[in-house]
Amino acid sequence: MPGRSVLVVGGSRGIGLEVARQMAESGDRVAVTYRSGEPIVGLFSVKCDVTVPEDVERAFAAVEAEQGPADVVIINAGVTEDCLLLRMAEEDWAATIETNLTGAYRCAKRAVRGMIRARRGGRLVFISSAVAMLGEAGQSNYAASKSGLIGFARSLAREYGSRGITSNVIAPGLTETGMTAVLDQERLDHIIAQVPLGRIAQRWEIASAVRFVASNDAGYITGAVIPVDGGVAMGH
């Protein structure tokens, strides 16, 4: 379907921006949300913090007014607040869950409402992480939020499959973005040593998988967790 209405939640940089650019280049009408900073040049941009329910409602309404109800919603907004459990404050736990998991609930709920009303099916794509399967010391809050997305997405696959709405998860391994730029070389080398392909991912490699699962060609794929991780979490 050419000219589909696509919304990338958390599309201001990193993986989300790459997804948005790739989808726009392939002919979709693409909107992104940004939380901080400026609107994104060349893409319809709506300010939205997924921890604020009114922001989510406003963002979807703005996208609907600009390019019609979203046929494809990529739920990508995510944060890390790394800390060992015994030092993890309630706020570190809550902030991560609130953005990564509760934010996804808010966006998916609003997305599904629009898709059902439009009666032309839809694609939900959640960006989880290899850490959801493997766990990671210092990332218990992040890993919990990212595994939560899997159960959430699969439940939606069952609830809305009969409406032609697919719900899938992409689970990237470590990817070159602002989120990983903060890691020191020693930590990076340690992680890379565990990756069968011996390197971290480039943004476009994650975006390619997102684009596929959001395409018409992926119409019979739902409830899937698609790893794009150089093999690091294989077997899970």
Q: Is there binding between residue 14 and ligand NDP (CB under 6 A)?
A: yes
If we measure between CA atoms, which residue out of 167, 164, 138, 175 comes closest to residue 150?
167
Q: Using CA atoms, how far apart are residues 88 and 1, in angstroms rounded to an integer?
A: 46
First and final CA of the chain: distance in angstroms?
33
Nearer to ligand NDP among residue 40 and residue 156 (C-beta)? 40
Q: Would you call 225 helix, strand, or coil by DSSP?
A: strand
Site for ligand NDP in 119-178 (CB under 6 A): 127, 129, 172, 174-175, 177-178
Q: Is there binding between residue 45 and ligand NDP (CB under 6 A)?
A: no
Q: Is there binding between residue 35 and ligand NDP (CB under 6 A)?
A: yes
Chain-centre distance for alpha carbon 16: 7
Nearer to ligand NDP among residue 35 and residue 58 (C-beta)? 35
Distance (Å) of CA 77 to CA 12, 35, 52, 80, 186: 9, 9, 13, 11, 27
Segment (H or E) for 167: strand 165-172
Among 4, 5, 6, 12, binds ligand NDP (CB under 6 A): 12
Among 20, 48, 72, 214, binds ligand NDP (CB under 6 A): 48
Q: Binding mask 87-126 vs ligand NDP (x if CB under 6 A, - otherwise)?
A: ------------x---x-----------------------
Give the catalytic positions in this structure. Answer: 142
Would you say 154 and 224 are in contact if contact means Cβ atoms under 8 Å apart? no
For binding to ligand NDP (CB under 6 A), which residues are involved? 10-16, 33-37, 48-51, 76-79, 99, 103, 127, 129, 172, 174-175, 177-180
